[in-house]
């Protein structure tokens, strides 16, 4: 099929696909808050059966269930080649509610955009992939075997995924993997990655007392909020340099080749500033660092949340009993989340803050796939068929996911691509996808799957 034929097939199934996606998005599957897990799993299984697949719901190793799906190659297809899709059915918390223009779990189409928590991350991608499968089945059967791993704890750091992948290594065995997400950048180029950053998501808590106190006692009682502020201020300086000893241990220097790819990534400081409404210049500017290099190669330490005492309207004169910070360290290949935790604990102790406790909520290693693999070339080539602009490939994304476990257990090349866009606001209020991107994402998967077995065979 050529581009027009494929897009024609997409048009035929589109209304049904959007209805299915809206239904899927109406489940408030917030893993951090233990919400709507069983109902969402049931609906995922139902969607796979409707698309002609078989399922196993794995829930024997703890955590939210992992859904395995299998679609067999058609009689004209090549059953010796298997593609694995990785998706997750859980979503980020929708808070703060008051900043949503629509209800986060009432999917709403406005001006060609579908707004809902999870639209871009990652429910839209699953429905796009299943829709591509339906189109291929109508055309005479699948060109290869297709598997899915759809987990329910990605947004809390996939804490239980490793045992499932180890235990069910043979079930999930495949020749290559398409990762969960992707989308168009600010130049409307589809942006793909062949790797991912790691993460150490930490909660720092300083407890000063058993109860909140009247703030007048601040003359002699120590203040947990001040202690936390002062402790945090020792961890990073005003130039945004991370000061924790050992934090950079083990980092693998990127290859010249990786650096070259990164230097060619598109990036517009102006477009980024405009998109988020930034009030200050990029932090890389003062240091003369290329933001693309920072995005791909540099670890981060971000405060995701601060919480202490009274945060409502007006004044409450309270000396808070405790203070908490959520700190997200994005890691690069070679860094170990457990080592990061130990370094931060040692740092706090060294600076006299051993009363501040550090809990790791989410720890994952970074991973870079082999992005010279013919599978990667095939995904790029087929993207060129469907997308108007030249696609972009980065050695790893700035985001995180459990790719390291896949690489270690399944030993396969991984490319991530999806139906998002630069303004899709994942993890923020008013998350959306554009229906045009959803259509093109389906079409890309149709073309990619059609040539998948051949591309891999030729390569060998």
Question: Which residue, 101 or 411, is less far from a copy of itself as judged by CB?
Answer: 101
Q: How far is the CB of 311 from a copy of itself (least distance, A)?
A: 4
Binding footprint of a copy of itself, residue count (CB under 8 A) = 98
**Contact mark string toward a copy of itself, 303..342, x via CB under 8 A:** xxxxxxxxxxxxxxxxxxx-xxxx-x-x------------
Name the residue among 36, 122, 120 with its Cα closest to residue 86. Answer: 122
Q: Which of 259, 339, 384, 427 binds a copy of itself (CB under 8 A)?
A: 427
Q: Which stretch binds a copy of itself (CB under 8 A): 129-137, 171-179, 220-228, 435-443?
A: 220-228
Rounded CA-CA distance 57/239 in Å is: 48
Q: Using CB under 8 A, which of 278, 349, 457, 459 touches a copy of itself?
A: 278
Six token digits for residue 446: 């149709």
The residues, ordered by sequence, that sit 6+ positions from 152 with a Cβ below 8 Å of its Cβ are: 29, 31, 37, 40, 41, 63, 64, 65, 66, 88, 89, 90
397 binds a copy of itself (CB under 8 A): yes
Region of 36-44, 274-282, 364-372, 402-410 interacting with a copy of itself (CB under 8 A): 274-282
Judged by CB under 8 A, the chain residues 3 through 42 that form the site for a copy of itself are 31-33
In the complex, least distance from residue 331 CB atom to a copy of itself, rounded to whole angstroms? 12
By CB under 8 A, the residues from 398 to 417 that bind a copy of itself are 398-400
**Residue 23 and residue 221: Cα distance in Å, rounded?**
53
CA angle 66, 71, 76 (to 5 degrees): 165
81-120 positions binding a copy of itself, by CB under 8 A: 92-93, 95-96, 99
| Buried/exposed 142-158: b ≥16 CB within 10 Å, e otherwise | bbbbbbbbbbbbbbbbb
Structural contact between residues 199 and 157, judged by C-beta atoms closer than 8 angstroms: yes
Query: How far apart (Å, rounded) are the C-alpha atoms in residues 398 and 394?
Result: 10
Q: What residues between 46 and 85 interact with a copy of itself by CB under 8 A?
A: none
Please identify which residue in 113, 134, 189, 425 interacts with a copy of itself, judged by CB under 8 A.
425
Q: Is residue 345 a contact partner of residue 358, using CB atoms and an 8 Å limit?
A: yes
Q: Which of 73, 199, 447, 449 binds a copy of itself (CB under 8 A)?
A: 199
Q: Please choose, out of 7-15, 186-194, 243-251, 292-300, the segment that lies near a copy of itself by the rule CB under 8 A.
A: 292-300
Q: Which of 221, 271, 346, 422 binds a copy of itself (CB under 8 A)?
A: 221
**Cβ count near 93 (within 10 Å):** 16
Site for a copy of itself in 138-157 (CB under 8 A): 155-157
* 94 vs 107, beta carbon nearer a copy of itself: 94
379 touches 448 (CB < 8 A): yes
CA angle 395, 293, 360 (to 5 degrees): 80
């Amino acid at each position: 099929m050529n581009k027009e034929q494929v897009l024609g097939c997409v048009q035929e199934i589109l209304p049904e696909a959007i209805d299915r996606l809206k239904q899927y998005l109406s489940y408030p599957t917030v893993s951090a808050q233990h919400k709507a897990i069983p109902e969402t799993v049931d609906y995922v299984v139902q969607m796979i059966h409707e698309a002609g697949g078989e399922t196993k719901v794995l829930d024997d190793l703890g955590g939210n269930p992992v859904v395995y799906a299998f679609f067999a190659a058609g009689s004209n297809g090549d059953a010796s080649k298997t593609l694995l899709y990785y998706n997750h059915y859980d979503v980020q918390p929708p808070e703060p509610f008051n900043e949503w223009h629509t209800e986060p779990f009432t999917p709403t189409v406005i001006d060609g955009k579908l707004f809902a928590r999870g639209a871009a991350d990652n429910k839209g991608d699953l429905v796009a992939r299943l829709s591509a499968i339906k189109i291929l089945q109508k055309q005479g059967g699948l060109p290869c075997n297709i598997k899915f791993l759809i987990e329910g704890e990605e947004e809390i750091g996939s804490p239980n995924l490793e045992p499932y992948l180890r235990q069910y290594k043979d079930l999930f065995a495949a020749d290559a993997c398409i990762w969960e997400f992707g989308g168009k950048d600010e130049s409307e180029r589809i942006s793909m990655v062949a790797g991912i950053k790691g993460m150490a998501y930490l909660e720092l808590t300083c407890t000063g007392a058993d109860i909140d106190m009247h703030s007048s006692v601040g003359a002699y009682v120590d203040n947990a909020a001040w202690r936390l502020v002062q402790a945090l201020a020792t961890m990073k300086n005003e130039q945004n340099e991370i000061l924790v000893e050992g934090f950079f241990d083990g980092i693998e220097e990127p290859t010249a080749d990786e650096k070259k790819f990164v230097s060619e990534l598109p990036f517009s400081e102006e477009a980024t500033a405009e998109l988020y409404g930034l009030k200050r210049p990029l932090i890389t500017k003062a240091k003369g660092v290329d933001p693309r290099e920072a995005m791909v190669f540099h670890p981060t330490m971000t405060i995701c949340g601060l919480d202490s005492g009274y945060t409502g309207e007006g004044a409450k004169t309270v000396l808070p009993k405790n203070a908490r910070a959520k700190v997200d360290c994005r890691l690069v290949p070679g860094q170990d989340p457990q080592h990061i935790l130990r370094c931060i604990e040692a740092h706090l102790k060294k600076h006299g803050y051993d009363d501040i406790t550090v809990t790791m909520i989410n720890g994952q290693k970074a991973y870079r796939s082999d992005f010279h693999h013919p599978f990667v070339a095939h995904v790029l080539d087929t993207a060129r068929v469907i997308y108007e602009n030249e696609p972009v490939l980065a050695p790893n994304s700035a985001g995180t996911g459990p790719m390291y476990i896949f690489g270690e257990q399944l030993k396969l090349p991984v490319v991530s691509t999806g139906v998002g866009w630069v303004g899709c606001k994942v993890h923020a209020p008013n998350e959306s996808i554009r229906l045009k991107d959803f259509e093109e994402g389906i079409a890309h998967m149709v073309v990619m799957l059609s040539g998948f077995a051949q591309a891999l065979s030729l390569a060998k």
